[in-house]
A = this chain, B = another copy of it.
Amino acid sequence: MADVPPSGDPVSATPYQQLEQEWKRLHAFRGALALLRWDAAVMMPKGSAEIRGEQLAALETEHHALLTAPRISRLLDRAQANIQGNNDWQVANLREMRRQRDHAIATPVSLVSRLARATSQAEVKWVEARGANDFAIFAPHLEEVLHLVRDKAQLLGQALNLAPYDALIDEFSPGITMADIDAMFKSLSRRVPTLIREAIALQAKHPSLPLTGKFPLAKQRQLVTELMKALGFSFENGRIDESEHPFTEGVPGDIRITTSYSTDDLFSGVLGALHETGHAMYDLGLPREWRGQPVGRDRGMAIEESQSLLIEMILCRSRPFVRYLQPLLVKHFGVEGPEWEVENIYAHLTRVRRGLIRVDADELTYALHIQLRYELEKKLLAGQLAVRELPAAWAEFMQDRFGVSPANHREGCLQDIHWAVGSFGYFPSYALGAAIAAQLYEKLRTDIPALDEQVARGEFGGLFAWLREHVHSLGSKVTTQELLKNATGKPLSAASALRYLEGKYLEDPAARTAAA
């Protein structure tokens, strides 16, 4: 026999080192799961959904079993006793390992598999109900999912010593609580509704020209590739494809993003790709030496969304970026005429509308869409709102705050997939992400005075170096709140977001002309 020792020989390894080995394996499972999901959305033949479901379930169950094995708990206790307090990263890694184990162990495998089955049925029924515009098709399945999520929230809450809804938030955005979100929405509510009115009135005085045309897919793909390369996306470690809805999957080192192109609408596919590029740049910038370890992972969905929204909403819908983009549109599509001048494109990309659809919303009305979902999901979980009352409650909120009512459920409470797949506690991440993005951006602009000039020249190195230093490279070393405090000197608040939105949407027309 050859005398090469087997890999990962644990005989002489410390408990902490053994834990790192265990998580390396868990990480490999997570990577495999990510690829199976990516393939299902992008490549898989239609008839293979059931087979893929079985593969996902088998790997998820195994991952759960590995994570909740008694051996892990024993090693965590022994490692905790031995860890050297002066190695911040190892201490943080151990904390995150324990967090993952606590989450997993609090949800028994029977509940995990019930939820998996209930949500996979609910997702199918959600699609069917949308098609038939019949909420009754979906309602009993949402009831079932809600029932199971409530059980899960109870169990998680007990285990983590958190209120049930806070326990659900903790899964997506660790360290953020309902109190933080309430405070944020309270600040936003005071100003945003009037700001929307003022912005719409101001924009009505300067109507933009429509950007119509046919935009061949092949050229859109070329443009997107060029933009992604300019932003610094590594095609050596990732790729872009197409799927029904844009998403980011994979693991750092193999990031798969998608977008969804339309030949009629140039910006939906391009901005979708840029949003996901924001996620990808975060994932690709996570600390390489901690790859595969919990502390090396992203800090949750609030920070994830801050990175995608900072790129898509703040950067790409800024005047300097449009200056950089405009010649590329001319180059790729041969567009010309007054509607394709910088100011008109910028006006198009910052147009405020009281619309019914969240994913089409501008950045000013977006927070209201999230607030609706946040309020309703809290009530559903608390049993203060019955599933059958959901459509009416939805319509009432929209009428009350937007002055518009959904004409059908597709435009109403059936527009999002999140609840069907059991993602309660997820929606706030979007609003938190937007607030965090604005707070980071405010500091970033102070630290890089020449940012606008760089962006207009298509130079994004300074921007991403800042983000890498203050956000990406930290992984999960500190909490969301600490990260923000360290990066900006201030705790999480909506103040920067409000300053940013006021500055952008109440801009003095004189400034606009001067800038043009």
Contacts and interface: CB of A to CB of B under 8 A. Distances in A.
A239 B45 contact: yes
Interface in A29-84: 29, 31-32, 35-36, 39, 43-48, 50-52, 54-55, 57-59, 62
Nearest to A61: B25
Contact of A24 (B31, B48, B54, B117): B54
B55 A28 contact: yes
A57 B32 CA distance: 11
Contacts of A236: 45-47
Contacts of A54: 24, 27-28, 31, 292
A29 B58 contact: yes
B2 A147 contact: yes
A58 B33 CA distance: 12
Given A32-B36, A45-B239, A111 B1 contact: yes
A107 to B, nearest CB: 12
A151 B48 contact: no
A137 to B, nearest CB: 20
Contacts of A144: 2
A113 interface: yes
A148 interface: yes
A45 B2 contact: no
Nearest to A25: B58
A262 interface: no
Given A238-B45, A254-B45, A117 B7 contact: yes
Contact of A151 (B1, B24, B109): B1
Contacts of A151: 1-2
A237 interface: yes
Contact of A58 (B28, B39, B147, B253): B28
Contacts of A286: none
A142 interface: no
A4 interface: yes
Given A32-B36, A45-B235, A236-B46, A51 B2 contact: no
A310 B425 CA distance: 57
A239 B59 CA distance: 24
A194 interface: no
A110 interface: yes
A372 to B, nearest CB: 28
B43 A55 contact: no
24 contacts: A1-B111, A4-B117, A4-B118, A6-B110, A6-B114, A7-B113, A7-B117, A28-B54, A28-B55, A29-B59, A31-B51, A31-B54, A31-B55, A32-B32, A35-B36, A39-B39, A44-B254, A45-B234, A45-B237, A47-B234, A47-B236, A47-B254, A50-B253, A62-B62
Given A2-B151, A31-B55, 5 more contacts: A32-B55, A32-B58, A43-B43, A45-B238, A48-B254
Instruction: Give the top 6 A-B pairs by smallest Cβ distance, nearest first.
Output: A28-B58, A48-B254, A47-B236, A47-B237, A6-B110, A28-B55
